[in-house]
Structure 1
């Protein structure tokens, strides 16, 4: 093990205790409060003496005292914290808090944290991409090329790396029908980071913001974090009910509406053309910002892709949120915002007060893949694979759970929205399924008020056909 420094506060000349006892006392305190744990190695006597600017014999005397008291043990020229000591409880101060416990100050109520996928669990949650299919070889080569540009390791444009913004503008023009330039685009930390930045820029504490019900709880938490008062608007088989949104406007002004019109989260329905036109007109007349989250635009399997609201926005009311996470991987945190140039400048100014910029090297690597057409080719491959998995899940559900669940096969997306027979005890089914190694998300998780509903959301993209068949077989067994 390399020599390491171990800071200890000494009071030479001011304390009546000898220095070796001060050292021993400091180490005892570090063991009690958990800084040093059973089995941890202490620095060598020469190293600690050099760090504290004391004679080595002083350190040796401290170590001998600790060993005699049973706090440490000598082992092969190394002094370690005794292994038979109990783990130290969290340190506490007189107010009852502590570094690992309750703080000595007030905190706002935290938003609920998202549950992560558990290892070994066949999880239907999330509609996440299959990380086993990420083209890591292509990404690694692109990253190495980007890393050779040392200027990317310094501070850069808060709007994001210029080549990536240019490549994204071209991609959005070719695939989503958006007429945007790189100056009307901002790269952010995933679609969630993009929404957070937009919310903190546009929304003032107390502003009313409409959201879909059922909808996306993580987005609700982000909007609440900016001080918004959320106003739920019902969703039906044609998406957000614009008549209901108009009624909410009569009750009081709205600052924005957040929605997922392409593949509504979680029901997967697509907003129809007439509602889209009415929504755009309503937003224009009431100066209402439309926060359009097009989170899985690449995965539309049947019919013509439905173009985003942002593609037909003469009033300049739509803020378009997108991501590369579904094509590549969420851990890369590659989301983006498209909107009027003034909005992008305001977002950049806001970002400069927080993290300054994103990861320019990762962004340049993504630009490289887009410029070479490799990312587009990978997206087409993923579309074919995920369409096959959608078909496989639908077939397995019909074979094993026919009569218990019903669903409409969506034209796109990464999940199915199931209607469950009301006679089934849904919560008991979910508990039994988990014991058999299958993770499920109930409909109440997406209800604005958390009310129980006879629905399940099954994400199919992260499991292959064999895993999907096995997961559904276990669901039938749990039932």
Structure 2
């Protein structure tokens, strides 16, 4: 509590002397852990000023507590909670604050999607996390410089309430990137900056979906996006995915049974299998959406990392009818903790989304957005992407080679054309879930296919991220996977 005034509850029967009330309040706070053993206490003068009492009253309270063994005074006259607390029955007192937080709520809670069980590896575990960049290589010094400069030049404005759409420089820089690299004819006013791509999906769901409406999703897919849609009231309908991506014929069959409000999909590098939606299906999907007036939520989460051939342009680049709500992120380019995503959509939809955004979290981090805008304007982000694209391709190849040498009988894998992870199919005798669990004991973490299954059914595959680990670390991770393989 250093630097803050210490608030005490001094309510007690009026005949109780004030110094006794102060002593009992401090004793109660020590008992319930608010003031832990060894914690420093305010000086008598400071506490007297904050409580509005005479200093001698506080000194009397401290003497009372010291006599009972609750506090100690050092040679420098500093006062601390005693490291060894006395075993003294508590004083009965009305209105004393509770000793612990309640363990249960006193009201009914609604049903919400279950939280993801996050892997909590030891610091020695090598985690093949899919879709996670190597944050060790982020140009943090450049980002820190840009952040300091943004605060120096625009500090007052950046620290005040800002535009809910996001910093105009960042929106302009991202519009330039989307136009040049992804073929989207967008300007700064066609974009809204969000708290990561997850924030964009949540915003789309809140803006678009009325409770009870059906949203189609990929049957193997990104569970956090499903949860955001469900929290908005959507009824999710999973669709099969094969080697050409989402099965549009299954979507057409679904729409004959029930009206579909939207489709959420990852067409560039399908999450988690990395396949790309084929040209024929892209055309069929856009035609179907046009006919049925259905929104397409396109999550293009790692477009920058494509290694062979030309990356396929987003669905949004071919949208002439205002159907596609395009979601992207800088988390894969820079770092997940920056929480910078964006939504590109027709302006009437953005106007509705802005009303929702202002009610939910008002705006993003204006200073951070200005700093990243500077890095984009100066070409630093572009240089970082080119550098990381080469590094990640080498890491992809190293992981594929290590798997081929060490686990050829257990896994079959083809190098993905892009992305930051690969999808490996297990041999019939391999239990992917049991293998992943055993891997933690050997110091390697990876995800079995069931993590991405809509109904949590076992899937004979594993997703292995390669971007966050060096080549030597990837080779060692595969060795550990081999040791963990049941039956070896």
TM range (shorter): over 0.9
Deviation (angstroms), 1:86? 9.6
Structure 1 runs (4+) deviating above 6 angstroms are none
Indicate if the aligned counterparts of 1:4 and 1:43 stay in contact, CA closer than 8 A: no
The residue matched to 1:7 in structure 2 has which SS?
A: coil
Q: How does the TM-score come out when normalised to structure 1?
A: 0.94
Tell me whether 98-107 or 349-358 shows the greater mean CA deviation.
98-107
The match for 1:284 is 290
Which of 255, 264, 270 does residue 264 from structure 1 map onto? 270
The residue aligned with 1:135 is 139
Secondary structure class of the residue paired with 1:209: strand
Q: Which residue of 2 aligns with 1:108?
A: 110
Task: Say if 1:289 and 1:318, in contact at 8 Å, map to a contact too.
Answer: yes
Task: Map 1:101-250 onto structure 2 (within 5 A).
Answer: 101-110=103-112, 111-113=114-116, 115=118, 118=121, 119-147=123-151, 148-150=153-155, 151-250=157-256
Distance 1:318 1:101 in 2: 45
Provide, for residues 429-455 of structure 1, a one-character-per-residue CA deviation record: whole Å limited to 9, x for no partner. Answer: 223321121011111110001111211
Once the two structures are superposed, residues 343-386 of structure 1 have per-residue CA deviations (whole angstroms, 9 ceiling, x without a partner) of 11222221112222111111111111111222111111111110
Deviation at 1:280, TM superposition (A): 0.8
Q: Decide whether aligned partners of structure 1 residues 278 and 222 sit closer, same or farther in structure 2, where only a CA change above 3 A counts.
A: same
SS in 2 for 1:40: coil
Conserved? CA contact 1:183–1:344, under 8 Å = no
Aligned to 1:41: 40
What is the TM-score when the length of structure 2 is the normalising length? 0.92
Inter-partner Cα distance in structure 2 for 1:426 and 1:86: 54
Q: Is the 8 A contact 1:263 1:269 kept in 2?
A: yes
- Return the alpha-carbon distance in structure 1 between the equivalents of residues 321 and 434 of structure 2: 49
- Compute the displacement of 1:100 (Å): 5.7
Q: Does structure 2 conserve the Cα–Cα contact (< 8 Å) formed by 1:284 and 1:315?
A: yes
State the Cα deviation string for residues 52-90 of structure 1 (Å, max 9, x = none): 122222212222222333322333323322223499xxx
When residues 322 and 83 of structure 1 are mapped into structure 2, their CA distance, relative to the original with a 3 A threshold, is same
Contact kept in structure 2, 1:414 and 1:460, CA below 8 Å = yes
Q: Does structure 2 conserve the Cα–Cα contact (< 8 Å) formed by 1:189 and 1:333?
A: yes
What is the number of residues matched between the two proteins? 471
Q: Work out which of the residue numbers 343, 354, 362 in structure 2 matches 1:337.
A: 343
1:293-312 CA distance string (max 9 Å, x none): 00000011111210110011
The equivalent of 2:301 in structure 1 is 295
C-alpha displacement of 1:34: 2.0
Tell me the distance in 2 between the aligned counterparts of 1:86 and 1:189: 49
Partner of 2:28: 29
Q: How far off is 1:107 after superposition? A: 2.6
- Name the Cα RMSD after superposition: 2.1
Render the CA deviation track for 1:105-125: whole Å, top value 9, x for unaligned: 333344314626643320012
The question of 1:368 aligning with 2:374 is answered yes
When structure 1 is superposed on structure 2, of 139-148 and 304-313 the one drifting more is 139-148
Matches of 1:450 and 1:469, distance apart in 2: 30
Contact 2:239 2:246 in 1 (8 A): yes
Instruction: Give, in whole Å, the separation in 2 of the partners of 1:74 and 1:97.
Output: 25
Question: Unpaired runs of 5+ in structure 1?
Answer: 88-92
Per the TM alignment, residue 98 of structure 1 is displaced from its structure 2 partner at its CA by 5.8
* Counterpart check, 1:406 vs 2:399: no
Match of 2:428 among 409, 422, 438: 422
The answer to whether the Cα contact below 8 Å between 2:307 and 2:389 also exists between their aligned partners in 1 is: yes
Give distance in 2, aligned partners of 1:188 and 1:378: 22
User: Deviation at 1:476?
Assistant: 1.1
> Does the 8 Å CA contact 1:419/1:454 hold for their aligned counterparts?
yes
* Matches of 1:84 and 1:427, distance apart in 2: 48
5+ residue gaps, structure 2: 88-94
Counterpart pick for 2:101 among 89, 99, 103: 99
Equivalent residue for 1:453, pick from 448, 459, 478 = 459
